[in-house]
Chain A
Amino acid sequence: DQQVKQNSPSLSVQEGRISILNCDYTNSMFDYFLWYKKYPAEGPTFLISISSIKDKNEDGRFTVFLNKSAKHLSLHIVPSQPGDSAVYFCAVHGSGNTGKLIFGQGTTLQVKP
């Protein structure tokens, strides 16, 4: 039973356009949400996070939106660049659990020049 779901295995966008990656979670007790980027043969790299007290966090081209009522978060990348092509994972921390990070299955983003 997956607690964190990324329903789109892949996404393709044109350079300069917006990329929107989505993530759904099941437990309303989760209180800290993160996005990671992973290139082949490398470990995941932390991108951006948001706590449950906020609904938006922005860092340069990356913005994370949190909709607690829908148990949904999204990552917006604008403008998208070819170097953004990677696998993106959302992850959650739960306040009631032992602190482990739970990851979604990942979405492969391809940004075409």
Chain B
Amino acid sequence: GAGVSQSPSNKVTEKGKDVELRCDPISGHTALYWYRQSLGQGLEFLIYFQGNSAPDKSGLPSDRFSAERTGGSVSTLTIQRTQQEDSAVYLCASSFSSNTEAFFGQGTRLTVV
């Protein structure tokens, strides 16, 4: 597609449920990033993919968070046993290589009730 696509755009889930967020990067982009932005906060790095591997997953807040990328394209971010503090906007970005500008999707607004 023309840009980075994220789905769903909004997700409301009950505490304790698992959620899966999807990111379709720009075709041909090898680098893919996940960030989150909590209310009133900046952009918090979660994980970075180069191809299908994740050289840096240092930002994942806990072992309830995991991400994968298949075929060097689509990525999913999974949050298990969601907590209220997981409520945030989850942003995905992709770039042609690891040292060029990254382009962001619109984000998924996750609300845990």
| Chain A residues within CB distance 8 Å of chain B | 31-32, 34, 36, 41-46, 49, 89, 93, 95, 97-106
Contact = CB atoms under 8 A, between A and B. Distances in A.
B48 A103 contact: no
Contact of B48 (A98, A104, A105): A98
A43 B101 contact: no
A46 B55 contact: no
B98 interface: yes
Given A42-B106, A43-B104, A44-B91, A99 B99 contact: yes
Interface string B13-47: 00000000000000000010101000001110100
B56 interface: yes
A42 B35 CA distance: 14
B67 interface: no
A31 B100 CA distance: 11
B45 A101 contact: yes
A71 B101 CA distance: 20
